[in-house]
Amino acid sequence: MSQIFSLALKYEGQQGKQIIYPSLVKCGQDLILIDCGYPGFLTKIENAVQETGFSMSEITAIVITHHDLDHVGSLSRIRCRYPWIKVYSSAIEAAFIEGRERAPRLVQAEALFETLDEQQKVYALEFQKTLESIEAAKVDGFLSEGESPWPDLLIIETPGHTPGHLSLFHHPSNTVIAGDAVVIGDGEPDIANPEYTLDLPAAISSVEKLAKIGAERILCFHGGELNEGAGDKLRNLLRRYGQLN
Ligand SMILES: [Zn+2]
């Protein structure tokens, strides 16, 4: 049997109480965690996994949708404590996750720095420091579209937010796991921080790709779940960005 869970990790962020939503998928013998939260979220993940009735010791794989602080932050700690877990990402993001290349988010932050006023520079420096502090972690396997180690879980390349961003499609439950390709704010889907999206036209094309799947449910790492009328809502998003008439 194939099952899918959305884990709700609660925390106190800069804008008050916030929640991020990694996913957990049971596919045959495999239990797969998709994304793993900020640095220091290991206990939150362990507790959330336990609430599903599974335990961390049953996890066989982690998929990282992309290299951003909130998705990859706890990866190296999880690897240390659960060394049998295999880690997967796209080949592009693996270079950042393993620390072989500078993350585009950091390059972008550095490029924007001189355009900021003094107050903004204080925050920007802190942000850069945080990005630099992400612990590198080894990636065991690269994922690309059309190939998946798990028959129930398809890989969908959704670049834009970052160059090697991946989403997944769990076909037994007709559910898209969007990562940050789509976020939900006020019940409506949107592109994550369009002003910081590394390639906005690519991000819009990626939403178009996800809309075409026609999934009943879309799990977003930020904002939770989109179910009723998910397709219509994605089409409205595309219209707002001028992609549909
Ligand atoms: Zn994110």
pLDDT in tens, 149-198: 999 999 999 999 999 999 999 999 999 999 999 999 888 999 998 877 88
CA of 222 to the centre of ligand 1 (A): 7
CA of 177 to the centre of ligand 1 (A): 13
CA of 116 to the centre of ligand 1 (A): 23
What's the pLDDT at 244?
67
CA of 184 to the centre of ligand 1 (A): 12
In this predicted structure, which of 44-58, 140-154, 199-213, 226-240 has the lowest mean pLDDT?
A: 226-240
CA of 95 to the centre of ligand 1 (A): 18
Radius of gyration of the chain (CA): 17
CA of 232 to the centre of ligand 1 (A): 23
Q: Are 231 and 214 in contact (CB under 8 A)?
A: yes
Pairs from 47-54 (Cβ < 8 Å, separation ≥ 24):
48/7, 48/8, 48/9, 48/22, 49/7, 49/24, 51/7, 52/5, 52/7, 52/24, 54/24, 54/26
CA of 97 to the centre of ligand 1 (A): 15
Q: What is the mean pLDDT of residues 110-123?
A: 87
Per-chain mean pLDDT for the chain = 93
Q: What is the mean pLDDT of residues 19-46?
A: 97
Q: What is the mean pLDDT of residues 41-61?
A: 97
CA of 20 to the centre of ligand 1 (A): 8
Q: Are 206 and 145 in contact (CB under 8 A)?
A: no
Task: Give the whole-number percent of the chain exceeding pLDDT 70.
Answer: 99
Q: What is the mean pLDDT of residues 35-53?
A: 97
CA of 151 to the centre of ligand 1 (A): 26
What's the pLDDT at 133?
86
What's the pLDDT at 81?
97
Q: What is the pTM of this model?
A: 0.94
What's the pLDDT at 86?
98
CA of 68 to the centre of ligand 1 (A): 6
Instruction: Give 22's pLDDT tier (boundaries 50, 70, 90).
Output: very high
CA of 67 to the centre of ligand 1 (A): 9
Q: What is the mean pLDDT of residues 121-137?
A: 88
CA of 168 to the centre of ligand 1 (A): 15
Residue ranges with strand state E in 72-195: 86-89, 141-142, 153-157, 166-170, 175-179, 183-185, 188-190
What's the pLDDT at 8?
97
- HEC string of 96-111 equals HHCCCCCCHHHHHHHH
Domains annotated for the chain, with CATH where assigned, are 3-240 (3.60.15.10)
Instruction: Give 30's pLDDT tier (boundaries 50, 70, 90).
Output: very high
Is a pLDDT exceeding 60 seen at residue 245?
Answer: no
Listed residues: CB within 5 A of ion ligand 1: 68, 70, 180
Q: Are 65 and 142 in contact (CB under 8 A)?
A: no
What's the pLDDT at 26?
97
